[in-house]
A and B are shown apart, each in its own frame.
Chain A
């Protein structure tokens, strides 16, 4: 393993993050506060409680997931798309590094940034509502796995994308709807039975359900299934990335 290369890529990506640290810190604080004002106060005053948890507290796991997923994707996709766009990818391709090292460097950095923002949101949320975390280890595992797996997805998008429009295509057209329909702001048990069944085809449901379980012990689907789903998703992304580097798809002519 070329550890120095992994460290170099990771550090290089993180300096970009630190250059815009204020922005990286304040924008999630602001957006989370907005969500609480809009959803927590306006809608929450009508919904009151879901299975014994106040609505404001209920949406916290979903809110964290929403931001973490979007950020992981955009960090990782831009991280690898920029070198392609600027042409600096020549250096990665001519360096003594293999695909695993490149992925660890870029995805590791993207996941770290997403994780940081997730924690900032969690901290901000405690200012608005009372939060308990029943299963802290499971919470950490879900959060980290989510950061990693969606950074992997972002990496794939960044390699696939041929222009900036395509970069936002998947996040906006696929991921955002899946997250909003995945029980971020409601429990799927609140839906009519038909839609409950339909919702089970949305992979994000498993993610948010599992994550919420680690907070409040409430789950829409069995926790084991949630873990399995995210593990399978991570494995799928890894397989695609392995294939990309093996064939040089969109990177090596």
Chain B
């Protein structure tokens, strides 16, 4: 698959010197769905705003479909649709008018058939002549999506599309995203909900303090979640893993009094029996043994807290 969005070493200092992005690099393949996870203030919106042209990058390079977002901004922005985190709409304007405005703003001719298609897809057709202020919050969010889709973008940014949205509407949103993906649209969305990332993303990125900590295939993340860890607690502390145990994928904890062994629950042999034997052979005395299974949530939390440390 070809890369449609490429971010290289992107930095952003806000006025006052605060560094909101600390050299983010990321390639996004055409047609994929990437979920960006991160706590409040991580820099998700800043990243999106910079790519979309709302804030100016301090350094680094971003290209969309090969077009630089600064030197070739027209071609780059033409390909991008943005659904912002905050609902921002003209309260007295009619739904149809604002969506038509968006299409025109991106240089497209008026196309009523296309407008109808978009509004129907988002269940807004009946409301097309309603003023924005007469809509519910969920409908307003869908108007924002309709505006972002009005110029038929190839890359769509959804900044927390399901924040403050009820369960049903969230499912609707996931369906919309799935349908856009079928139509070949590349989607980058931010969310605080890990199950959302699990449900719809192809890849998951974790961002914290302006740094991208991890970007990984959801499948391989899931595989990691299929991994279990066994912790072998020792009576004495050791400085290093004994040579006799070097054939195992082992890690020593910080205190030096327990060994952590990771294995795949789906594997034919877990190697636990052999490990425990070899631990005893190496002259170590067991105090206790425990097992644990990691979830995406845990991976996320541990990444973010490691980063904070």
Contacts and interface: CB of A to CB of B under 8 A. Distances in A.
Interface residues of A, number: 26
B105 A95 contact: yes
A253 B55 contact: yes
A207 B147 CA distance: 43
Contacts of A173: none
B55 A4 contact: no
B92 A90 contact: no
B15 interface: yes
Contacts of A88: 88-90
B106 interface: yes
A4 B56 contact: no
Contacts of A16: 92
B101 A94 contact: no
B107 A94 contact: no
Interface string B156-198: 0000000000000000000000000000000000000000000
Given A97-B105, A252-B56, A19 B15 contact: no
A9 B105 contact: yes
Interface string B242-273: 00000000000000000000000000000000
A87 B54 CA distance: 11
Nearest to A15: B97
A165 interface: no
B113 to A, nearest CB: 17
B74 interface: yes
Contact of B78 (A11, A87, A96, A253): A96
Nearest to B102: A91
A180 B106 CA distance: 43
A94 B104 contact: no
B71 to A, nearest CB: 13
A95 B77 contact: yes
The binding surface of chain A is classed by DSSP as helix
A38 interface: no
A82 B90 contact: yes
Contacts of A11: 101, 104
A2 B107 contact: yes
A252 B12 CA distance: 13
A12 B84 contact: no
Contacts of A8: 100-101, 103-105
Given A86-B89, A96-B77, A96-B78, A252 B55 contact: yes
B56 A90 contact: no
B56 A96 contact: no
A95 B106 contact: yes
B86 interface: yes
Nearest to B103: A8
Pick the most buried of A2, A93, A95: most chain B CB atoms within 10 A of its CB.
A95
Contacts of B91: 86
Contacts of B107: 2, 4-5, 96
B250 to A, nearest CB: 48
Contact of A96 (B74, B89, B92, B100): B74
A94 B89 contact: no
Contacts of B108: 4
Nearest to A87: B88
A16 B14 CA distance: 35
A4 B103 CA distance: 9
A53 interface: no
B82 interface: yes
Nearest to B82: A94
Interface of B: 14-15, 52-56, 73-75, 77-78, 80, 82, 84, 86, 88-93, 97, 100-109, 147
What 8 A-B pairs are tightest by C-beta distance, nearest first?
A8-B104, A87-B88, A96-B74, A94-B52, A96-B77, A95-B105, A93-B54, A2-B107
Given A93-B54, A248-B56, 6 more contacts: A4-B105, A15-B97, A82-B90, A94-B53, A95-B105, A96-B73
26 contacts: A2-B74, A2-B107, A4-B107, A4-B108, A5-B104, A8-B100, A8-B103, A8-B104, A9-B101, A9-B104, A9-B105, A12-B93, A15-B93, A82-B90, A86-B91, A87-B86, A87-B88, A88-B90, A92-B105, A93-B52, A94-B53, A94-B82, A96-B77, A96-B107, A252-B56, A253-B55
